[in-house]
Chain A
């Protein structure tokens, strides 16, 4: 993982549930099948209503998003326990989400899969930053720089090395909790 990266951000409101991240009709795709993993990415955030989100997260026909960082509000990832949600975001190239708070299962699924970093911000950003703004996330310092300001994010603590390792299994093997792959 690089120490930092810059990207335009995609900004959403409170209570973005997993049906908005990846609607139920696409759960027929099995994430461990490579072609279906990629397909899940193409549908990322397609459940956001068009009237509230006229700028779409995925360009038509694209497999990768140009917004590699999502800025959310309270309770990001609430609702269904579908792991397809962090996977769809990871598959289309999202590296991190920065939100006021997370729903428990989504947060855990981000860590278990190692798909993306679920940062919390002590200062709500949804009203400060808008979709398309260029931002830099520094993984070394846990800071977000946007519009000439630098915001200190809450460090990820114990979950950080799990995501760095690429998820629960890689971490468990690396740390000797389960035997190395045969």
Chain B
């Protein structure tokens, strides 16, 4: 069996499953946030009763992250709906925006967008926060009310996005009926060349198989090139399984995985026992492809879909209006370090917005230095409008006052994950997806630029 099949077999109490089987699986972690949490709570109460209790309060993780730093009153209310429910149910893993468990959240627009407006428990973008806070364990089953839940597959678990109704069902029962996906394997050989990042790998893979090339399928990454990647890189790759239509993305667990996971579990005191699954010899794949990482080049997915791929070096004719770095995919510490490597000591030509994924990333950027200067200061000096208010922000547009949102028709190069029409706000705008290196180089020149020119 493949990694996905082995995890789903175990979670459904079977010795063996095969693609196409419909199985009831037991949930290890259910993730929800401020956009889909209130609706999930509504479904749960409607269907199980006003006084119903969730199946296991220790297995639900609630991370407000989408529409937080906005004066929109419904958005602020939705964070309060989460808090009320968490208090009622006694759910321990709630990463609230504010510290007062009986308070209410109201964003103060008069304080501006840049300075930190959250309490000590706030965790930022859920997919990046989940592993940081010790909630990703190899071999487990994770469901989340967000399509990028697949990012957690980097930690060798089965992770996929679901809707509110399915999540409401899990709230009450802990179970979900799912179809076992066939697995596509991508076997990585070689090492990434200078100026090429994990983002280029996944944009290449999606370009190879198409924007719906993995629909209903698992995407499994193996090989020496895969084991050489660090956890941030693996997360970037599994994050975008959904952009090829995939049900989940997954890497096998190795020492890199265990070191990361065990350290985060220790630091946060979360559940420490887990049983990883190993790679079998008799795996059956519906698609098996070798990718030589050393042959890849900085890659861009052009408007209007993530499969619309071209090498950055061929797109120098495309002028840009804005650059953006942030999100679960592209707002990790390593992403900002790569960006800083390019822009250090230089001045950006484009209007550029930076949104760290989590408060931990904010702290890292203040502490880490390059040439005696903090990364934060390097980015600000180059001209990045950088906020401490970690959140999903303009990756998905959001309310009109969202930091970095494309409010007029423009061309934006972005380290995020989606570029369908209107994704970042204005419907007539065009979004080009690229690595933090490529976004940085393009922000310097004002047009799509191969970052190797600056390395």
Contacts and interface: CB of A to CB of B under 8 A. Distances in A.
A31 B39 contact: yes
Nearest to A170: B47
Q: Which of A105, A178, A181 has the most CB of B within 10 A?
A: A105
A113 B47 CA distance: 12
A12 to B, nearest CB: 12
A101 B422 contact: no
B212 to A, nearest CB: 4
Interface in B387-437: 396-400, 418, 420-423, 427-428
A27 B67 CA distance: 9
Interface stretch (A45-53, A56-64, A124-132): A45-53
Given A30-B38, A31-B39, A24 B163 contact: no
Contact of B396 (A15, A24, A75, A105): A24
B162 A108 contact: yes
Given A32-B43, A49-B427, A78 B36 contact: no
Given A19-B396, A103-B245, A113-B165, A32 B211 contact: no
Contact of A78 (B46, B212, B397, B422): B212
A23 B427 CA distance: 9
Nearest to B74: A28
A97 to B, nearest CB: 16
B35 A27 contact: yes
B236 interface: no
A82 B163 CA distance: 6
Interface residues on A, range: 35 or more
A178 B166 CA distance: 14
A103 B396 contact: no
Nearest to A27: B35
Nearest to B246: A104
Contacts of B66: 27
B397 A105 contact: no
A66 interface: no
B212 A103 contact: yes
A30 B81 contact: yes
B146 A81 contact: yes
A109 B165 contact: yes
B78 interface: yes
B39 A19 contact: no
Nearest to B167: A83
A49 B428 contact: yes
Contact of A28 (B399, B420, B427): B399
Interface in B16-56: 35-36, 38-39, 41-43, 45-47, 49
A75 B422 contact: no
B69 interface: no
B145 A81 contact: yes
Given A83-B163, A112-B163, A20 B42 contact: no
Contacts of B35: 27-28, 82
B39 A178 contact: no
B243 to A, nearest CB: 8
Q: Which of B43, B75, B165, B421 has the most CB of A within 10 A?
A: B165
Nearest to B423: A19
Contact of B216 (A74, A78, A104, A181): A104
B164 A31 contact: yes
Contacts of A78: 211-212, 245, 420
Contact of A168 (B74, B145, B169, B216): B169
Given A32-B43, A78-B245, A104-B215, A23 B422 contact: yes
B78 A81 contact: no
Given A30-B39, A101-B212, A83 B164 contact: yes
Contact of A105 (B78, B162, B400): B162
A20 B165 contact: no
B42 A31 contact: yes
Contacts of A29: 74
Contacts of A182: 49
Interface string B255-269: 000000000000000
B59 interface: no
Given A49-B422, A108-B163, A80 B396 contact: yes
A167 B41 CA distance: 17
A32 B163 contact: no
B147 interface: yes
A163 B149 CA distance: 26
B161 interface: yes
Q: Which of B215, B398, B399, B400 has the most CB of A within 10 A?
A: B215
A25 interface: yes
A120 interface: no
A81 B40 CA distance: 13
Interface in B147-175: 147, 149, 161-166, 168-169, 172-173
7 contacts: A28-B74, A30-B81, A49-B428, A80-B418, A81-B149, A82-B163, A109-B166
Interface of B: 35-36, 38-39, 41-43, 45-47, 49, 66-67, 72, 74-75, 78, 81, 145-147, 149, 161-166, 168-169, 172-173, 211-212, 215-216, 242, 245, 247, 304-305, 396-400, 418, 420-423, 427-428
Given A24-B396, A25-B397, A112-B165, 20 more contacts: A17-B418, A19-B396, A20-B422, A23-B422, A25-B398, A27-B67, A28-B78, A28-B399, A30-B78, A50-B427, A74-B212, A75-B211, A79-B418, A80-B146, A81-B145, A81-B149, A81-B161, A112-B169, A167-B165, A168-B169
